[in-house]
Amino acid sequence: MFLVEQGEEVEAQMKRIEATKGVIGTLVVDPDGVPIRSTLDQSMTLQYAGQLRQLVILARSAVRDIDPQNDLSALRVRSKSNEIIVVTENNYLVIGIQKLPEPDVSMSREVGVLGVLQHHLLSAKRKRKKDRKVLKWVKIYFCCYLSFPPLNNQASWSNYVT
């Protein structure tokens, strides 16, 4: 689907996304990196469009290095307070930013693999700095892997765009 050719349909879908609880803003960025639609102020729009376009280029390159027949279709980035979802369609980027709910304090200790990694990370404080860095990155990888199940197993923002 070529986003520009489907103006009214895209507008309706974007309004549905924006009406979702917790959504901070949405953007549509053309293949040249120019924002063509945004609900954010101008400075935030330019910041998100520029930074996320670069991130998508890097992620797309990594995906193609692994499998040249494959392409990047969506990207999720999560911080402590926000989640950014980027869907690519014909080199256009549809970006959604949503606020994450407050974390449950009672679930502060992870279970399973994350609990073991956290235990090793805490005990590594007494070890060499290099070991701490490696364990920290392993923990980040597993947090990202376990926190983000594949998009086809849940509702994703691409459902609003396609």
Question: Is residue 157 included in any domain, yes or no?
Answer: yes
Residues 32 and 110 in one domain: no
Q: Do residues 99 and 110 share a domain? A: no
Does residue 52 share a domain with residue 21? yes
In terms of residue numbers, what domain contains 38?
A: 3-104+149-161
User: Residues 55, 66: contact at Cβ < 8 Å?
Assistant: no
DSSP designation for 108? -
The total number of structural domains that make up the chain: 2
One domain for residues 67 and 27:
yes
Based on the domain organization, do 119 and 96 belong to the same domain?
no
For position 13, which CATH number holds?
3.30.450.30
Sheet holding 23-29, edge to edge: 35-38, 23-29, 92-99, 82-89, 74-78
How does pLDDT run along the chain (162 residues), one tens digit per residue?
444 456 777 778 788 888 888 899 999 999 888 999 899 999 999 999 999 999 999 999 999 999 999 898 899 998 888 899 999 888 899 999 999 887 554 444 445 555 555 555 555 555 555 555 555 555 554 444 444 444 444 444 444 444
Structure tokens at 3: 């986003």
Give 22's contacts (C-beta < 8 A, 6+ positions apart).
Answer: 98, 99, 100, 101
Domain membership of residue 144 (yes or no) is no
97 plus 42 within the same structural domain: yes
Question: Among 99, 95, 91, which residue's Cα sits nearest to residue 158?
Answer: 95
Q: Determine, yes or no, domain membership for 143.
A: no
* Same domain (yes/no): 69, 123: no
Instruction: For the full predicted model, state whether its pTM sits above 0.85.
Output: no
Residue 56 and residue 118 in one domain? no
Q: Is residue 26 part of a domain?
A: yes
